[in-house]
Structure 1
Amino acid sequence: MNELKVTINDSHIKKIKSGSPLLEKEAIQNIKPLKEEGMLLSLVDTRGNFIGRGYYGRQNKGYGWILTRSEHEAIDSMFFLGRIHQAINHRNSYFESNDTTAFRVFNGEGDGVGGLTIDYYHGYYVMTWYSEGVYRFRDWVIEALQSAPNFKGLYEKKRFNKKGTYVEDDDFVTGDRGEFPLLVLENGIQFAVYLNDGPMVGVFLDQKEVRKKIRDSYAEGKTVLNTFSYTGAFSVAAALGGATKTTSVDLANRSLPKTIEQFSVNGIDYEAHDIVVMDVFKYFNYAKRKDLSFDIVILDPPSFARSKKHTFSAQKDYTSLLQEAIQITEDNGVIVASTNCSTFGMKKFKGFIDQAFKKEGYRYKIEESYSLPPDFKTTKAFPEGNYLKVVFVRKLI
């Protein structure tokens, strides 16, 4: 592949040389030659010295990613074979596990190729492409994955249309087509997943350690409210951990049959639990009217969401969301506060928690905190990549 020489502005040299893999628009001295996504770029400073090699691919984070700092390393099929198999070796403990058969195999810039993630579901691999630029390397990635462990089949998700959403298409790529639902294990919990049904498959793999902690250490004998519940994965974990009752609340109509399915594949009587299709903010008002309270409240909202009456932004509204949760949490109860918003860090998130408890007039204790699990590999030079923040907060009497 031909390479375009791109000059990096002096103001961004230090950041890039310190290891940041993101190629920001402001870093590029002249963006006019950047015409076709997938172009390979040779990055140089204003004196012409080599800095790195990457590609042009626009997504919400920037204009591309740096792939290598070595002037002698070519970006070709062997490059992707090496990066992907290095990533697979990093996950050996997951491949050898008897109680976990779903995990992340390749985590974008953390594994050396920003814009691409690869997940594993009991023999099936799923590639997710976040820009047209990285999609140009598709054939090389497919070639590398066909020699991956336990390979049965390959699916893909394209998240790079002009609105930044999912590109509808047949997600199957090669190998054997899966039969769905496909049952996978996560720390012994079964989940039904669908690799051929839109951008989300049925479970978010980055929360595996949090679900395990709720099941093993918090749920027994407790009542649990799971808000923004999606397919009820947190509720299933709590029920398996001995919760007396779980309540799952989500606005999407699909959440009802999907949550029933997740309870059922784990042998749990879903009729012993509440599954509510409702706007979470309406449910808070309902719970207060009915004088309902819970021992554990799980808050895992999307970074941004809009319903008919509410617009939620984690950056602006998480404090008020926490205030709602505090009001229906039992004394000495626990709020599991979670966000995947990458625009702020753990320190600011804990600041939201502090503000909410002060406004409601309660003391609190942070029991423990979580970020991404080991299979979601990140790099310290790009802290935005370590997006997950989960804090277990106890409401003190």
Structure 2
Amino acid sequence: MKKCHVGPETIRMLELGHPWVLSDRYTKQWPVGESGELIALVDDKNHHLATALYDPKDRIVARVLDHNKIQLTVEWLEKKLLQAKLLRLHARLDETDAYRWLNSEGDGLPGVTIDRYGDYVMLQLYTSGWDIHLDLLTTAVQKVFQPKGIYRKLRPQETRALEAKRRTKEYSRLIAGKPAPVPLQVQENGLNFLVDLREGLNTGLFPDQRRNRQEFSARVAGKRVLNLFAFTGAFSVVAAASGAQKVTSVDVSAKYLDIARENFSINRINPKRHEFVVGDVFTELAKMQAQKRRFDVILFDPPSFSTTSKSRFSTHGGTSKLVSATMPLLESGGLLISSSNHQKVSMDDYMKELRRGALQSGDQLKTIFTSGQPEDFPCSVSFPEGRYLKFVISVKNQ
């Protein structure tokens, strides 16, 4: 195992428990190695600090696997997966078979996530360093979770560019077991949703919003609900199933809203009693304002970045614009429910965006609830980068 010297700043971060080594002048002097190779991180006196997975072409040049000297074996991986599985006993997973079984750095396997979808699992790799260990990882997953099939998805760095150019239709492939039905029906908190494990960067359901959908469901009975960036309608289904008077779902993708209608139907909710609007969110908000439409609850959970023919959205700066555009449609005393998964925007900065938007519209917002990821997305206190999800419920002018 190659010895790779790290500088004083990296040593300090390792001592704090941070799992990453970022490329710097010290790492540029490391011996030549291959992606996926295990290396020993050492200080200037050659004292062993950690065993890490090497990825020389990545900004995160090494990811810590263990502070002891280890070999990457099926048995070692099994132990990590069993620890992760045990931790899920803290999660509320009644009537739920779609959730995260392994959360990368949060479960001690940086660069890997494993999501359960019914009897199948999705293995996502965020570094090419895991590629040469894929057989070991697959064997460990089969032993611990015993799925009917395992899909592998590589999460490239430039996901937004790939989605925009549509270079490929399929981002994942079956690497073990039997293929999943298309679509595959899964359950979350007693409701049914359709997912596709083959296509796109996302399956059609975001498990990290599961607990937030529960919180949302308790506040919408009898309400007029507007769901912006609705995607495949998970929040819309929850609203309708929880007794919302009418749910309006807006998304630029007709394909996603067709899936949303199917999600309504498989839960025995008539989609014709609700509204589905294909269009750019800001364009549709302007139309609704001109029509003097009003809602009791407005929800938005946009992608971190979104580009359409008419507008471009970014969480940083775009959130305030979105708040000011929604305020005229929200009744006084109504709820604005906002969310972002942008890792580089902290909760404090996100709250400033909400404040800026309220000031632009001349309204007041009072925050009554904040949340993040559920228990199956654990995050070490030494790894703040893992706390990416922000979910905020605010009351307008009350």
Same fold flag (TM > 0.5): yes
Q: How far apart are the structure 2 equivalents of 1:117 and 1:287?
A: 40
**Matches of 2:343 and 2:250 in 1, distance apart?**
24
Residue 36 (structure 1) shift: 2.4
C-alpha deviations, 1:31-52, integer Å up to 9, x for none?
A: 5645521121211112222111
Distance 2:198 2:100 in 1: 18
Aligned to 1:252: 253
For 2:254 and 2:101, how far apart are their aligned partners in 1?
Answer: 31
CA contact (8 A) 2:150 2:175 kept: yes
Question: TM-score scaled to structure 2, two decimals?
Answer: 0.93
Match of 2:85 in 1: 88
How much does 1:288 deviate?
1.1
Contact 1:255/1:277, CA 8 A, preserved across alignment: no
Alpha-carbon distance change, 344 to 199 in structure 1, aligned in 2, over 3 angstroms:
closer
Task: Choose which of 67, 72, 75 in structure 2 pairs with 1:75.
Answer: 72
- Letter matched to residue 159 of structure 1: R
Is contact 1:41–1:56 with CA below 8 Å preserved after alignment? Answer: yes
1: CA distance between counterparts of 2:350 and 2:282? 20
Number of equivalences: 392
Where does residue 137 of structure 2 map in the other structure? 141
1:297-312 equivalences under 5 Å are: 297-312=298-313
Q: Within the alignment, does 1:351 sit opposite 2:337 as a pair? A: no
Q: CA deviation at 1:93?
A: 5.8
Name the counterpart of 1:152. Answer: 148
Give the Å deviation of 1:58.
6.6
2: CA distance, partners of 1:181 / 1:105:
21
1:191 equivalent in alignment to 2:193: yes
- CA distance in 2: counterparts of 1:290 and 1:35, whole angstroms: 63
Would you say the 8 A contact 1:11–1:27 is kept in 2?
A: no
Counterpart for residue 110 of structure 1: 106
* TM superposition shift of 1:262: 0.7
Q: Secondary structure at the match of 2:85?
A: helix
Aligned counterpart, 2:62? 64
Say which SS state the counterpart of residue 65 (structure 1) adopts: strand
Q: Distance in 1 between matches of 2:84 and 2:355?
A: 38
Please say which of residues 312-321 and 370-379 is displaced more in the overlay. Answer: 312-321
Length-normalised TM-score, structure 1: 0.93
| CA–CA distance in structure 2, aligned partners of residues 31 and 317 of structure 1 | 41
Partner of 1:121: 117
> Partner letter of residue 218 of structure 1?
R
Give the Cα–Cα distance (whole angstroms) in 2 for the partners of residues 247 and 181 of structure 1.
24
Contact 1:126 1:155 (8 Å CA) reproduced: yes
CA distance, structure 2, for counterparts of residue 7 and residue 304 of structure 1: 37
Question: Quick one: distance in 2 between partners of 1:44 and 1:304?
Answer: 39
Q: Describe the shift of the 1:349–1:343 C-alpha distance in structure 2 as closer, same or farther (beyond 3 A).
A: same
Q: Which residue of 1 aligns with 2:393?
A: 392
Equivalent AA in structure 2 for residue 147 of structure 1 = K
Q: Which residue of 2 aligns with 1:378?
A: 379
Letter in 2 for 1:62: I
The structure 1 residue matched to 2:43, chosen from 42, 45, 48, is: 45
Q: Please, which moves more after superposition, 33-42 or 15-24?
A: 33-42
> What is aligned with 1:23?
21
Aligned counterparts of 1:56 and 1:169: Cα–Cα separation in 2: 24
Q: Deviations over 1:3-24 (max 9, x none)?
A: 3221111122211210011121
Q: Deviations over 1:177-231 (max 9, x none)?
A: 222222211111111111122331110000001111111x211010111111110
Aligned residue in 1 for 2:210: 208
When structure 1 is superposed on structure 2, of 99-108 and 22-31 the one drifting more is 22-31
Counterpart of 1:185 in structure 2: which amino acid? Q
Question: 1:75-112 CA distances to partner (integer Å, 9 max, x unpaired)?
Answer: 32222111111111211366x95411111000000011
Give the RMSD, CA atoms, in angstroms: 2.1
* Conservation of the 8 A alpha-carbon contact between 2:334 and 2:396: yes
> C-alpha distance in 2, partners of 1:59/1:15?
21
Q: Which amino acid aligns with 2:125?
A: W
* Whole-angstrom distance in 2 between the partners of 1:97 and 1:150: 18
1:345 shift after superposition: 1.4
Note closer, same or farther for the CA distance 1:27–1:192 as it changes in structure 2 (3 Å cut): farther
Identify the residue that residue 55 of structure 1 maps to in structure 2: 53
- The one-letter amino acid paired with 2:379 is T
Q: Does the C-alpha gap of structure 1 residues 365 and 162 become closer, same or farther in structure 2, counting only changes over 3 Å?
A: closer
Equivalent position amino acid for 1:6 in 2: C
Q: Is 1:284 matched with 2:285?
A: yes
| Bigger mean CA offset, 168-177 vs 282-291 | 168-177
Residue 329 of structure 2: aligned partner: 328
Q: 1:192 to 1:291 in 2, by over 3 A?
A: same
Measured against aligned partners, the alpha-carbon deviations of 1:217-271 in whole angstroms (never above 9, x if no partner) come to 2110101111111101100000011101111111123122111111111111001
Residues 263 and 379 of structure 1: is their aligned pair in 2 closer, same or farther, counting only changes over 3 Å? same
Distance in 2 of aligned mates of 1:29 and 1:275: 52
Q: Could you tell me which runs of 5 or more consecutive residues in structure 2 were left unpaired when the two chains were aligned.
A: none
Q: Pairwise mapping of residues 238-277 of structure 1 onto structure 2 (< 5 A)?
A: 238-277=239-278
Q: Is the 8 A contact 1:57 1:134 kept in 2?
A: no
2:222 aligned residue: 221
Compute the displacement of 1:281 (Å). 1.1
Q: In structure 2, do the counterparts of structure 1 residues 149 and 323 end up closer, same or farther at CA, with 3 Å as the change threshold?
A: same
Q: Partners of 1:19 and 1:328 in 2: how far apart?
A: 46
Q: Secondary structure at the match of 1:218?
A: coil
